Amino acid sequence: MQMKTGVEQSVYAILILNMLPDKAVLPGEAISQQLGASPTYFQKLLRKLVSANLITSVPGVKGGFKLRKKAEDIRIYDIYLAIEGQQSLYSSSGVMHGMLDLEEEGCCLLTDLMQEAESSWQTVLKRQTIASLYEEINVGYQPKVQLLQQWIKEKMVM
């Protein structure tokens, strides 16, 4: 039970896109290179982010990706959801059904508990946004962020 690495990559990808000037766009391959991710698979992840309306894509020669929402409106949870899908962490196999010979469903006590735990988990991931995460990184690693900004200026297209 491990979160997909795609979630981490996506978060940092969006963090990069957040540093992009308005109207500018960054090619997927540049991003995947910066993250050290496999370019082809990373495109698939970007597609999921597009489907989730977190970023937009521009095809064609000066194409690429950019944010669709404001950084304040992108919660870490949204990114998680885009990549991992909406299925819950726990899904009952109906063990209790067979055990107690129940006809109807909607019973599983464990499901209730697990759902509550997951909600509690989600709450934390809904608190932090790309904006707040960027804030933290910026105060903690400003010089490095400058370099990243520089790199973005080189790779972006308008």
137 binds, among DNA, its own copies, ligand FES, none (CB under 5 to 8 A by kind): its own copies
DSSP per residue, 28-71: HHHHHHHHT--HHHHHHHHHHHHHTTSEEEE-STT-EEEESS-G
Q: Which of residues 52-111 bind its own copies (CB under 8 A)?
A: 76, 84, 87, 89-93, 95-96, 98-102, 107, 109-110
List the one residue out of 124, 126, 115, 39 whose CA is nearest residue 79: 126
Residue nearest to ligand FES as judged by C-beta position: 108
List the one residue out of 58, 64, 76 whose CA is nearest residue 33: 64
Residues of the shown chain interacting with its own copies in the complex, contacts defined by CB under 8 A:
1-5, 7-9, 11-12, 16, 34-37, 76, 84, 87, 89-93, 95-96, 98-102, 107, 109-110, 113-114, 116-118, 120-125, 128, 133, 136-137, 140-141, 144-145, 147-148
